Amino acid sequence: MKRRKFIGESSLVSLGFIGLKSYANSLEHVSSGAKADSALFAKGYGPLKKDPKGVLELPRGFSYKIISQRGDQMADGLTVPGLADGMGTFAGATKDQTIIIRNHEVSPRDAKNGAFGVDMSLLPKIAKDKFYDYGYGKNQCLGGTSTMIYNHSTQMVEKQWMSLAGTVRNCAGGITPWGSWITCEESTVMANNVVEQNHGYNFEVPATNDVKIHDPIPLKEMGRFNHEAVCVDPRTGIVYQTEDRPDGMIYRYVPNVKGELSAGGKLQILSILEREPFDTRNWTTTGEKRMKKGKKYQVKWLDIDNVEAPLDDLRARGKAMGGAVFARGEGIWFGKDEIYFACTNGGKEAQGQIFRYTPSLHEAQGAEEQDPGTIELFLEPNNSYILESCDNLTIAANGDLVICEDLKTPRILGVTPQGKTFVIAKNVGYQSEFAGAVFSPDGGTLFVNIQKPGLTIAITGPWAKAES
């Protein structure tokens, strides 16, 4: 993928976060008792400007456009679903086109946010066998993905359609180097008198220009748990997964065949050699038991069986085996030979943590034990103004990391490779989280959702000019 190559050539990414218009302004807002250190702050793209439309505040030189919203008519006769969440982008058929695959975190019976109309009158437009879970014909599962073709020259969506149907609460996911999107169910509901199928799986959706609903095939060997997001190491094809639970694990799926996730593989959990199990959350631990910021801990990956987990007990069994415990693993992204992931309510004040994992040069190979990968707590500010409820994340072409906050009045935050932090955008129009931030393959446009109103937004500007 062009984007993977582009990021792979970018400078080493380091993380840290704060939402600041400027250092001077920040001093008025830093939480009581917290110390503000100018060394933490970057100029970034400069202070935010008021939006006359009252939707999105951005720095000078940046602009936004709402390109899709809940209820818009789609090319397949359906309407754009609501609760848009994680997204992935891919090169389109022409240089002006970007393919965007978008998750919809919709539950059964939520017709307001489904693609079939409030009265479900559009349901016949998708064949029953194209739904993963038809809910006995009464409670169709309304989550899934939509795909759109965006034209950068016209700044308009050329067409959009439903590309996966019948799943539950598709939260985040991840792009693959072979041109597909892995969409994740953030649910572990079992078949009952409402739904026909077990849920808690990943599904693969190819990136294509064709208006097509894809077969809903659960990737069961990747594990059944409360999935959040995934990322793929393009060198090995190994998939790393986060779990949105207060006592979640970090998982690694080693496929039998690189690029063919449905061909089976091995599921493993991350363990920290220094102490098993290691509680990385730092909620109550003190002294040597706390995970220290900046220290690199060696990692061991442990095989886990019974991965479909009918009791939703992968994390409990994982901890008993010595797996490290994380506080609501959320967004995850592969950078320059490193993986970054967010834990929404980790840290002493439960306001969020950012981790960095560096895979072994022999990842999932025989020599891995002699040269293990390492994990590092990259950020734990314990200051709600610096960072609160970190969620989806991605990496800009200039090496800065970009993260969405999950708050009523959230921000999009950035951090330079030097670890200095700045604000990129603030949602002033809706009490709803940002979700799914992702750049176009050329790095020139940031796509992001405002979830509750069901808006997808394209942000353009001088992305390469952030100042440290």
Give the pLDDT score at 345.
95
**What pLDDT, on the 0 to 100 scale, is given for residue 8?**
34
Question: Which residue is it, tokens 């937004």?
Answer: 457
Closest CA to 104 of 30, 222, 244, 205: 205
Predicted confidence at residue 26, as pLDDT, reads 35
Give DSSP secondary structure letters for 20-42.
-S-HHHHTTTSPTTPPP-GGGB-
Q: What is the DSSP letter of 279?
A: B
Length of the chain in terms of residues written: 468
How many angstroms separate the Cα of 386 from the Cα of each of 21, 58, 287, 420, 438?
12, 18, 24, 11, 22
CB-CB contact of 253 with 223 (8 Å): yes
Q: Give the CB-side neighbour count of residue 119, counting CA atoms within 13 A.
A: 1
Q: What is the pLDDT of residues 99-150, one digit of tens each?
A: 999 999 999 999 999 999 999 999 999 999 999 999 999 999 999 999 999 9
- The number of beta carbons lying within 10 Å of the beta carbon of residue 119 is 8
Nearby residues of 265 by Cβ (< 8 Å), 6 or more positions away? 221, 222, 253, 254, 255, 256
Residues of the chain with pLDDT under 50: 1-36
Could you give all domains of the chain from N- to C-terminal order, each with its CATH number? 2-465 (2.120.10.30)
Q: Are 50 and 57 in contact (CB under 8 A)?
A: yes
**pLDDT at position 415, please?**
78
Task: Give residue 416's pLDDT.
Answer: 74
Q: How far apart are CA 176 and CA 253, in angstroms?
A: 13
Give the pLDDT score at 420: 72
Q: Are 345 and 352 in contact (CB under 8 A)?
A: yes
User: Quick one: DSSP state of residue 317?
Assistant: H
| CA atoms of 414 and 226, how far apart (whole Å) | 27
The tokens describing 18, both together, are: 């704060």
Asked whether the whole model's pTM tops 0.95, one would answer no
Render the burial of 243-281: b for 16+ CB within 10 Å, e for the rest.
bbbbebbbbbbbbeebeebeeebbbbbbbbeeeebbbbb
